[in-house]
Amino acid sequence: MSDTATTMFVQEARDLLEGLEDMLLDLEADPRPEKVDAVFRALHTIKGSGAMFGFDDLSQFTHHFEDAFDKVREGRLAVDGRLVDLSLRARDLMRSLLEDAEGARTREAEARAVLIRATADLTGPGTQADRATSAQAAAPPKEATRFDIFFRPAPDDLINGMRPDLLIEEIGALGPISVALDLGRVPPLDDLDPTRCWLGWHMSLTTSQGEDALRDVFIFADEAELTITPHTAMAAPEPDSPAPDDPAPARDAAVTRGGGSIRVESQRLDDMMDRLGELVIVQARLDQISRRIGDPMLETVVEEIDRLVTGLRDTTLSTRMLPIEMVFGKFRRVVRDLSGELEKTVALVTEGGETEIDKSVIDKLSEPLVHMIRNAIDHGIDDAETRRKAGKPAGGTVRLSATQEGGEVLITIADDGRGLDADAIRARAVERGLIEEAAVLSEAELHQLIFAPGFSTAKELTSISGRGVGMDAVKTTVDALRGQIQVASTAGRGTAITLRLPVSLAIIDGLLVRLGDAVYVIPLSSVEECVELDLAERHRESGRTMLQIRETLVPFLDLADIFNQPASTEPRRRVVIVRADGARLGLVVDDILGQNQTVIKTLSVFHRDVAGFAGATILGDGAVALILDVAVMIRTALEARDTPSVRLRRQAR
């Protein structure tokens, strides 16, 4: 069997197992028969495909898992918290058997035995399942229906490991059956390829199991011709019903193959984006050469190339965009398990899951969001009794939402817990030497201290919290993604933490600015406006460097001072007003050169720790321009504002 086919099975099985977790959690909340059937079909597919592709341990274990849900379908086993707990653990083991068959094999035998014993215990005397079984026994039997079935495997199915004899045997287990062979497509002997399948089968089956049970048998034969035609229900089986004279058209083939999507390795998307980045740089060079030459015909061609490259950029970026629901969906299990461990009732509410973000950002989001959700449940939400005394519902809520604003995606984790204790944060920060005892900090600055390395207000060390590494990891990841963190908290009402992240990490729209002979890039998503610098506004009587922007004063920094460059002699200078972390700042430059598509290149290992830069890009003339990290610039301004007695002992990044 080809490596490509096996790789495709593994990826599809991963997707099924991801979906299986959601199905089980949905089933716990609403155990309708169709949801039970959905779980059963997923298990049946993994079992059959696993055996076909040589994952015997996975297939055998899944067989026992499938048996348990067969009992649920028959009414012999009730859906409750114990069954869902057991099923989630079984799903985790299936993932282990898929990813690391050798390492998980030693655990499989024991886990399988536990599953079998637990299933037997759940169906033991006196359970709700017995009552369901009794009710089912009292109900009238389902009427039998005759189905005419035509099945023809795809030509390559035998090479890929399909066993038609086993499928027909499984169909036969559902009721009386007659089978006729279809030889209509078998070629002459000289043209016969023995590795390809030419046969078809007509079957007539009488069963009370229903059409879904038949389709479950063929669920992983998605390239085969398959028609299932039900006939009028009958009181007694007719085992000798003749097969149809001619096969009906393969109605289901297009349905099972449909979807209009293909699976692409993520590395190929990364390579495509790299090539596109180089193309954008070359296009910028071509545009610069065209302006220098001044040939109208060349300018026309360059404009057309620019239009095509822009369209290709947008298409490629949209290909890499994924709905953030892919991340949100994983946290239902986290909340369920953690609330059970802490003996708290917590509901997870998600909003804006359709919001799209670059896959490179999604890949890095899971860990920080897990830390924040765990922190909200452990520290933020009290136990039921404490909540009742505070006039709140016994159960808490964690709300996970996403929305897009311009070139940024805002992800908010909010809880209805006790809120942040500013006094406790301050005391702990003084104890750890993060701030001086006499420091005067705003509430927002105190809230930011929860992201300091090693910071924790937990009084006891547990398996969930107390080491002070969770929120620090969140800050590190968000900084690496060139994002920002905003905290809003009200005592007794809860806390909301918002991550502001760029939609894409590969290509951004940037504003080119000049300082002396050097060119820098400011991410356009952080720019609010550009104004001319009035020299009379540079130094007020207070000594503060402020700029009057309509009714408000905005602090500003001269980039020449920040980068230790000689004072500018330009007669007219400009200020770029930027915003980050909820604060505004003016950056003084010599000139604004215009907007530019910016391909982000990471800095070398020798320069990555230099604060104030998010990366670099290559301009049309081949020169390198540094990309400014606006968030760091604003933090620098805030720190410069503080006097030594109230200075925060924190790094720029």
Q: Mean pLDDT throughout 225-229?
A: 90
Question: How high is the mean pLDDT of the chain?
Answer: 78
Q: Are residues 461 and 521 in the same domain?
A: no
**Residues ≥6 apart with Cβ < 8 Å to 204:** 146, 147, 148, 149, 177, 178, 241, 242, 243
Q: For residue 133, how far is the Cα from the chain centroid?
A: 41
- 85-139 tens-digit pLDDT: 888 888 888 888 888 655 555 555 556 666 656 655 655 544 444 434 333 433 4
Q: Are residues 451 and 512 in the same domain?
A: no
Which CATH number goes with the domain that contains 454? 3.30.565.10
Q: Are residues 386 and 345 in the same domain?
A: yes
Q: Are residues 134 and 67 in the same domain?
A: yes
**Residues ≥6 apart with Cβ < 8 Å to 138:** none
Helix (H, G, I), strand (E, B) or coil at 536: helix
Two tokens at 119? Answer: 């299933």
Q: Are residues 536 and 548 in the same domain?
A: yes
For residues 634 and 456, what is the distance between their CA atoms, to the nearest angstrom? 26
Two tokens at 263? Answer: 């699976």
For residues 298 and 628, what is the distance between their CA atoms, to the nearest angstrom? 34
Q: Are residues 409 and 552 in the same domain?
A: no
Asked if residue 232 is part of any domain, the answer here is yes
> Residue with structure tokens 């302006």?
291
Asked if residue 103 is part of any domain, the answer here is yes
Q: Mean pLDDT throughout 427-456?
A: 83
For residues 150 and 227, what is the distance between their CA atoms, to the nearest angstrom? 5
- Checking if the pLDDT of 314 tops 50, the result is yes
Q: Which residue has the higher pLDDT, 608 or 225?
A: 225
For residues 626 and 604, what is the distance between their CA atoms, to the nearest angstrom? 12
- Checking if the pLDDT of 21 tops 80, the result is yes
Q: Which residue has the higher pLDDT, 531 or 139?
A: 531
pLDDT of residue 140: 45
Q: Mean pLDDT throughout 73-96?
A: 85
What's the whole-model pTM score? 0.61
- Checking if the pLDDT of 400 tops 90, the result is yes
Q: β-pairing, 396-405 with 346-351?
A: parallel
Asked if residue 586 is part of any domain, the answer here is yes
Find residue 640's DSSP bridge partners.
none
- Checking if the pLDDT of 7 tops 70, the result is yes
- 166-223 tens-digit pLDDT: 888 888 888 888 888 888 888 888 888 888 888 999 999 888 878 878 887 887 677 7
Structural domains in the chain (count): 5
For residues 48 and 166, what is the distance between their CA atoms, to the nearest angstrom? 10
Range of the domain at 178: 144-250
Asked if residue 647 is part of any domain, the answer here is no
Boundary residue ending a domain (89, 110, 138): 138
Which CATH number goes with the domain that contains 563? 2.30.30.40
Q: In 3-state terms, the chain is what percent helix, strand and coil (to 5)?
A: 45, 20, 35
Asked if residue 486 is part of any domain, the answer here is yes
For residues 320 and 479, what is the distance between their CA atoms, to the nearest angstrom? 21
Kindly report which listed range (57-66, 401-410, 421-430, 455-464) carries the lowest average pLDDT score.
455-464
**pLDDT band, very low/low/confident/very high, at 414 (cuts 50, 70, 90):** very high
Asked if residue 650 is part of any domain, the answer here is no
- Angle CA 553–554–557, to nearest 5: 140
Read off the DSSP letter of residue 208: S
Task: Give the rounded percent of residues in the chain with a pLDDT score beyond 70.
Answer: 79
Check: CB of residue 291 under 8 Å from CB of residue 272: no
For residues 238 and 20, what is the distance between their CA atoms, to the nearest angstrom? 38
For residues 142 and 130, what is the distance between their CA atoms, to the nearest angstrom? 20
Q: Mean pLDDT throughout 233-255?
A: 38
Boundary residue ending a domain (104, 138, 172): 138
Q: Are residues 96 and 226 in the same domain?
A: no
For residues 631 and 480, what is the distance between their CA atoms, to the nearest angstrom? 12
Sign of CA dihedral 286, 291, 292, 298: positive
Kindly report which listed range (54-68, 85-99, 256-270, 289-303) carries the lowest average pLDDT score.
256-270
> Residue with structure tokens 């099923």?
87
**pLDDT band, very low/low/confident/very high, at 259 (cuts 50, 70, 90):** very low
- Checking if the pLDDT of 641 tops 80, the result is no
Check: CB of residue 176 under 8 Å from CB of residue 205: yes
Helix (H, G, I), strand (E, B) or coil at 198: coil
Two tokens at 380? Answer: 């933020």
The beta-carbon contacts of 393-397 under 8 Å, at least 24 apart in sequence, are 394/345, 395/345, 395/346, 395/347, 396/344, 396/345, 396/346, 396/347, 397/346, 397/347, 397/348, 397/349
DSSP 72-97: HHTTSS---HHHHHHHHHHHHHHHHH
Two tokens at 632? Answer: 């760091």
Helix (H, G, I), strand (E, B) or coil at 462: coil
For residues 375 and 395, what is the distance between their CA atoms, to the nearest angstrom? 16
Read off the DSSP letter of residue 406: T
512: left (phi over 0), alpha (psi -120 to 50) or beta: beta
Whole-angstrom CA distances from 257 to 221, 224, 227, 422 are 10, 10, 14, 57
pLDDT of residue 485: 87
Residue 537: CB atoms within 10 A of its CB come to 16
Q: Are residues 332 and 386 in the same domain?
A: yes
- 338-388 tens-digit pLDDT: 888 888 999 999 999 888 888 878 888 888 888 889 888 988 899 899 999
Q: Are residues 380 and 440 in the same domain?
A: yes
> Residue with structure tokens 């610098």?
533
Give per-residue burial for 97-121: e unless 16+ CB within 10 Å, then b. Answer: bbeeeeebeeebeebbeebeebbee
Read off the DSSP letter of residue 368: H
For residues 261 and 257, what is the distance between their CA atoms, to the nearest angstrom? 10
Q: Are residues 417 and 449 in the same domain?
A: yes
Secondary element (H or E) of residue 574: strand 574-580
| Dihedral angle of Cα 389, 391, 396, 401, to the nearest 10 degrees | -150
Q: Which residue has the higher pLDDT, 276 or 605?
A: 276
- Checking if the pLDDT of 43 tops 70, the result is yes
- Checking if the pLDDT of 239 tops 70, the result is no
Q: Mean pLDDT throughout 232-261?
A: 40
**pLDDT band, very low/low/confident/very high, at 150 (cuts 50, 70, 90):** very high
Asked if residue 257 is part of any domain, the answer here is no
Q: Are residues 472 and 601 in the same domain?
A: no
Which CATH number goes with the domain that contains 25? 1.20.120.160
pLDDT of residue 6: 77
Q: Are residues 512 and 541 in the same domain?
A: yes
Asked if residue 434 is part of any domain, the answer here is yes
pLDDT of residue 235: 42
Q: Which residue has the higher pLDDT, 644 or 161?
A: 161
Q: For residue 453, how far is the Cα from the chain centroid?
A: 26
Question: Strands of 177-182's sheet, edge to edge?
Answer: 177-182, 200-207, 144-152, 225-234
Boundary residue ending a domain (120, 138, 156): 138
Backbone angles phi, psi at 420, to 5 degrees: -80, 140
pLDDT of residue 116: 59
User: What single letter denotes the amino acid at residue 50?
Assistant: G
Which CATH number goes with the domain that contains 305? 1.10.287
Two tokens at 125? Answer: 């005397």
> Residue with structure tokens 């800050």?
475
Determine the angle formed by the axes of helices 266-293 and 359-375, rounding to 10 degrees: 120
Residue 307: CB atoms within 10 A of its CB come to 10
